[in-house]
Amino acid sequence: MILLASHCLVFRTNTGESIPYTAESISVQILGAEPGLFDPEFIKNAAAAVFHYYRDELGRDSVTVAEFSLSLERVLRGFKLGPEALAEERPDPRVIRSDLRLLAPQSDAGCELLFFPRLRAELEKLLRQGPQTLCFQGLRQCVKTLSGARRWTPRCQDLNDRIVEFLRSCISIESSGVSCSLLIQ
């Protein structure tokens, strides 16, 4: 295996190919822009900034071409240099997160009777905020806390399935026609 130079970033393509680039070796082609809207040196510096962000700020050694392109597009739109930049930017989907581990009673195992009403109240509270996506995190640890298990057991799997089914049925009832995705991690 060849060691990647510290000043390189590996770009992964849709075809699965991985290509190492330096900030200086990235070439950017702007499609659909008016001629002269962006100075080539400006684009080169913007691409180098995005490159630096992924490599140095996030500490990543690889990035997909799509991720890099989207980030560069956001940077360029942020400068609002021309009519293309005036086009309304798509809003990021509104994601609201909740941690299931915080809802699980920390007292004795088997406190499911307390957990499900708390979960329903949390779901109702979050839905009032109008999310596009509702994300519940920490399911596995929550299940282990509720069941009092150190290791995953068939009882844990059963409780896991009941919580997922409970959330699905509650969101279908409570969302009342509003489009909201449910993500359980």
Tokens (6 digits) for 53: 């962000």
23-82 pLDDT, tens digit per residue, is 777 766 555 455 566 677 877 888 888 888 888 888 888 888 788 888 888 887 777 655
117-151 pLDDT, tens digit per residue, is 989 999 999 988 888 888 999 999 999 989 888 89
At residue 92's C-alpha, the angle toward residues 38 and 172, to 5°, is 160
**Cβ-based neighbours of 176, under 8 Å, separated by 6 or more:** none
| Spatial contact of 116 and 103, defined as CB atoms under 8 Å apart | no
Run of H or E residues at 145: helix 139-147
Task: Report domain extents, the chain.
Answer: 8-86, 95-184
- 3 state DSSP class of 136: strand
